[in-house]
A = this chain, B = another copy of it.
Amino acid sequence: MPLQRIDLLAGRPTGERQSIADAVHRALVETCGVPEQDRFQIVAEHDRRSFLFAPEYLGIRHESPVFIQVTLNAGRTLEQKVSLYRRLAELLGAAGVPPNDVLVNLVEVTKETWSFGDGMAQYAPATPS
């Protein structure tokens, strides 16, 4: 995987939500070597009372932020991460989210923490049989 969790305010049109999800996956494919078919995304909408944020942090204003939390294997370089953030901002911009509202966090895990089905640890080195 990565496992991509995308949290945003309710009320965006369905098409826009789909474009946002497409953009997040596209950025991961382009900058982090994620395979095209390795796509697992959970998009959750929240009302304003359940989605709380300050109007500005680090000089960046937030109006309708999109939080993108991606669990993925450790090993991406700082350069790749920075490329990912930049590409996310570009592609989400085209999907209707201004760069100031693109918030990202990565949770880095090891390869043996994944199973993609069939009860196996497909990414683990030397999986015991």
The contact of A50 among B45, B103, B115, by CB within 8 Å, is B45
Q: Is A94 an interface residue (CB 8 A)?
A: no
When the two chains form their complex, are residues B40 and A50 in contact, meaning their CB atoms are under 8 A apart? no
Q: How many residues of A contact B (CB 8 A)?
A: 72
When the two chains form their complex, are residues B99 and A117 in contact, meaning their CB atoms are under 8 A apart? yes
When the two chains form their complex, are residues B121 and A115 in contact, meaning their CB atoms are under 8 A apart? no
Chain A residues 1-46 with CB under 8 Å of chain B are 1, 3, 7, 14, 17-18, 21, 25, 35-46
A102 to B118 CA separation, bound complex (whole angstroms): 7
A85 to B17 CA separation, bound complex (whole angstroms): 32
Interface string of A84-126 (1 = CB under 8 A from B): 0111111000000001111111111110111111111110101
Q: Is A128 an interface residue (CB 8 A)?
A: yes
Given A52-B39, A53-B41, A105-B1: A58 in contact with B121 (beta carbons within 8 A)? no
When the two chains form their complex, are residues A78 and B124 in contact, meaning their CB atoms are under 8 A apart? yes
Known: A39-B54, A62-B117. 9 other contacts (CB 8 A): A18-B49, A42-B51, A42-B67, A78-B121, A82-B121, A82-B127, A100-B117, A102-B118, A108-B110
